[in-house]
Structure 1
Amino acid sequence: MNLGNADLEPAAAWGGATLALHALPMGARAVIDQLHTPANADDREVLLRLIEIGFLPGETVRVVAKARTGREPVAVRLGGQSTFALREREAALVRVRPVATEGAA
């Protein structure tokens, strides 16, 4: 299922705020809003890899699996086609804006 960005409505429950990708609840959908530029050189390399594989502003993401609380990783479906497992540190570099899912009030 491929939804254009025009079909995505901000989730009212979130008040339009952004949050780190790793904080997105299981099954929730979002649109990437921005990428956090880290001060740490190692994290900058991670950010470049995320950009190279398609974590870009405007792309849709959905959390498809999460490890138990306090554990890693989080599995994220990017653009409805590719699934990636990210460590919390990696997912924290991606800021998302949750969107209402189909059938939500």
Structure 2
Amino acid sequence: MHSAARKAHRRYNENSSHFKTESFPMRLTDLSKGVSAFVERVEDASAPDPIAQRLRDLGFVPGEPVRVVARAPWSADPLLVQIGSTRFALRRAEAERVTIQLDAIDITNTQAGTAA
């Protein structure tokens, strides 16, 4: 899916006269600086993916709030990411494993997908 299509978009709510914001899953690397989101899952890049497992061990678990604090210039590494009260510098390849949503998620449906 195209990056712009993954970002939140506005859709008219037919039951009222206001717009309703919806969000689609996107990567942590797509998140703008200072915007808060929630971890949906960490995807394994290979069968045993020690980096994905380490991210989960560090707290990148479904439902956890996350935000990008700073970015290196010119789309270079690293990203400074805050999860909880802890900040991590992540390479883009590492942050690309983290799928996020702008809205809160139901962690009961996503925890089964993280067990590998």
Distance 2:69 2:75 in 1: 17
Q: Which residue of 2 aligns with 1:98?
A: 102
Give yes or no for the alignment of 1:48 onto 2:53. Answer: yes
Q: Which structure ranks higher in relative contact order (CA pairs < 8 Å, sequence separation ≥ 6)?
A: 1
Is the alpha carbon distance of 1:38 and 1:29 closer, same or farther for their aligned partners in structure 2, counting shifts above 3 Å? same
**Structure 2 length as normaliser, TM-score?**
0.67
Any gaps of 5 or more consecutive residues in structure 2? 1-7, 11-20, 104-116
Distance 1:70 1:63 in 2: 13
Give aligned-pair identity as a percent.
33
1:37 paired residue among 21, 26, 44: 44
Distance 2:99 2:89 in 1: 16
Q: Which residue of 2 aligns with 1:73?
A: 78
Distance 1:72 1:27 in 2: 17
Q: Which residue of 2 aligns with 1:84?
A: 88
SS in 2 for 1:69: helix
* Aligned residues: CA RMSD: 2.1
| 1:11-53 C-alpha deviation (Å, 9 max, x unpaired) | 6557321111011111111000111121265xx1101110111
1:60 paired residue among 36, 41, 65: 65
Any gaps of 5 or more consecutive residues in structure 1? 1-10, 100-105
SS in 2 for 1:58: coil
Q: CA deviation at 1:70?
A: 2.3
Runs (4+) of structure 1 exceeding 3 A deviation are 11-15
